[in-house]
């Protein structure tokens, strides 16, 4: 009996690993190509016939980046921190706003609620190119062109619709009894929200935060139009510099992409423990 069980486990693990590899391959193929390109010497970038993995492995481009990269007006590190700052503040702001709004929509009834809901949803529906010029004019009129504040507020407005709807779903799923017991214990609604509901919806909040972060981290067209000076540029803007009038510097693009995504990847890897059932279930019981 024990042997059969062990065999089953081995097959199971093997099957999982196989599927994992297939998924990883499909999902990551272009990404791997980009990363591989970052290790190719210049002359291999446009070789015909093409190569996937570098024939000649070199850390050339990384050295170049440390020295500042191609035609850089501002160092990559500065752009990286600009992006990081904007994304973090946007995330915090969005999470707060959408948690509040989500709770309000989930727990209260008030006139015109559906209209407001629809407004929030509709904010998601407008095509980027159409909004480019009006938003540029608007931001200029409130004096926030070329500032990170302007971008932060704009990105928050972009992320709020999506995250609010997620938050509504989150809070809906939490039974009202819990808040009721808190209220009975003498809290008001707001304290109940903070002390009881939020910890329970931790997974949802983290998801919200992740989405907000990702949406603002790699945004390009509005940053392009609103940022005027090189020092204020975000990473995507800086990366666009690599697609030049003639050439595309793939190896540098691959390297910068790698530097750009690896921190996110690591953060996400470690943030996942908040996803795991065990902790969440524990909170519920407690």
Partner 1 sequence: MSKSSNMAVSAIHRRGFSSRRALYGYAWTLPAVLCVIFFIFYPVFESARLSLTDQSLLAMETKYVGLETYKDMLTSEEFQVAFKNSVIWLIFGTLGVFVCGFLIGFFLHLDFIGSRLLTALVLLPWVIPDFVAATAWKWLTVGEFGIVSFYLEKIGFPEPSLLASSTYVLPTLILLVIWRITPLMSILVRASLESVPPEYYEAAEVDGATAWQRFIYITIPTIRYPLVIGTLLTSLFVLREFAVVWVTTQGGPVNYSEILPTFIYRQGFMYFETGPAAASSMIYFFFILTFALLYLFSFRKVWKELL
Partner 2 sequence: MRSNRLMKLISLRGASLVEVQKQKEFEFRSIFRSLINRESKFFLIALLIFMFSVNLASAVEIKVWRFGGILAEHSWEKKKITEWNNQNPDVKVVWSNQDWATKREKVISSFKARQLPDILVMDGPSIPDFVRLGVIQALDDVDSNMVGSWKNRFVPEIWNTTIYKGKFYAIPTYVDVTTFLTYNKEFVKTPPTTWSELKNMAKDLKGKSNKIPVVIAATKGTNDVNLWEGIAYGNGCRWLNEKGDKVVINDRGCVDALQLYKDLVTGGLTEDNPQEIDYYKAIVLLLEESAIMSQSMSWLKAIDSEVKGSKNPDYSLTVFPKNSNPTGSYPSANVIMAPTSAGMLTSQSKNVKAAMKFLNFFASQNFQAGWDGDPIPGRVPATKANWASPDVVKVYPDLVKLYNKGTLFKGALPMPAFPGLVQMETYMGEALQSVVMGQQDVQSALDRVAAKSQRVLDKVSN
Asked if 39 and 59 touch (Cβ cutoff 8 Å), the reply is: yes
Stretch that binds partner 1, among 25-33, 58-66, 69-77 (CB under 8 A): 25-33
Give, rounded to a whole angstrom, the gap between the first and last alpha carbons of the chain.
38
**Nearest to residue 241, comparing CAs of 45, 21, 68?**
68
Closer of 246 and 270 to partner 2 (Cβ): 246
CA-based R_g, the chain, Å? 24
Q: List, as one string, the DSSP characters of 98-147.
A: HHHHHHHHHH---TTHHHHHHHHHHTT-S-HHHHHHHHHHHHHHTT-TT-
Pairwise CA distance, residues 128 & 223, whole Å = 12
145 is a site residue for partner 2 (CB under 8 A): yes
14 is a site residue for partner 1 (CB under 8 A): no
188 is a site residue for partner 2 (CB under 8 A): yes
CA separation, residue 240 to residues 69, 70, 256 (Å): 13, 12, 11
282 is a site residue for partner 1 (CB under 8 A): no
Among 18, 19, 27, 137, which residue sits at the site for partner 2 (rule: CB under 8 A)? 137
218 is a site residue for partner 2 (CB under 8 A): no
Asked if 144 and 153 touch (Cβ cutoff 8 Å), the reply is: yes
**Residue 210-249 contact track with partner 1, rule CB under 8 A, x = bound:** xx--x--xxxxx-------------xx--xx--x----x-
16 is a site residue for partner 1 (CB under 8 A): yes
11 is a site residue for partner 1 (CB under 8 A): no
Asked if 205 and 198 touch (Cβ cutoff 8 Å), the reply is: yes
77 is a site residue for partner 1 (CB under 8 A): no
Q: Name the binder of 272 from partner 2, partner 1, none, CB < 5-8 A by kind.
A: partner 1
Among 106, 203, 240, 280, which residue sits at the site for partner 2 (rule: CB under 8 A)? 240
Binding site for partner 2 (CB under 8 A): 42-44, 46-48, 70-71, 73, 132-133, 136-137, 139-140, 143, 145-146, 188-190, 221, 224-225, 228-230, 237, 240-241, 243-247
């Amino acid at each position: 009996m024990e042997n059969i069980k062990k065999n089953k486990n081995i097959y199971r693990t093997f099957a999982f690993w196989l599927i994992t590899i297939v998924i990883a391959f499909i999902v990551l193929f272009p990404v791997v190509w980009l990363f591989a390109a970052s290790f190719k010497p210049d002359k291999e970038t446009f070789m015909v016939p093409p190569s996937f993995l570098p024939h000649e492995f070199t850390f050339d481009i990384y050295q170049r980046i440390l020295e500042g990269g191609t035609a850089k007006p501002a160092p990559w590190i500065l752009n990286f921190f600009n992006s990081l700052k904007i994304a973090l503040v946007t995330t915090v702001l969005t999470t707060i706003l959408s948690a509040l709004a989500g709770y309000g929509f989930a727990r209260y009834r008030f006139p015109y609620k559906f209209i407001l809901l629809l407004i929030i949803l509709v904010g998601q529906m407008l095509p980027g190119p159409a909004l480019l010029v009006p938003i540029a004019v608007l931001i200029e009129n409130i004096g926030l062109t070329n500032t990170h504040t302007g971008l932060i507020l704009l990105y928050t407005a972009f992320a709020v619709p999506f995250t609010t709807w997620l938050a509504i779903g989150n809070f809906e799923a939490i039974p009202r009894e819990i808040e009721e017991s808190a209220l009975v214990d003498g809290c008001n609604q707001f304290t109940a929200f903070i002390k009881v509901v939020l910890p329970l919806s931790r997974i949802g909040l983290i998801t919200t935060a992740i989405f907000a972060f990702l949406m603002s981290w790699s945004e390009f067209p509005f940053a392009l139009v609103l940022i005027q000076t090189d020092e204020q540029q975000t990473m995507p803007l800086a990366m666009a510099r690599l697609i030049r009038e003639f050439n595309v510097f793939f190896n540098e693009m691959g390297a910068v992409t790698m530097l750009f995504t690896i921190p996110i990847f690591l953060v996400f890897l470690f943030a996942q423990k908040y996803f795991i059932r065990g902790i969440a279930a524990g909170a519920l019981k407690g």
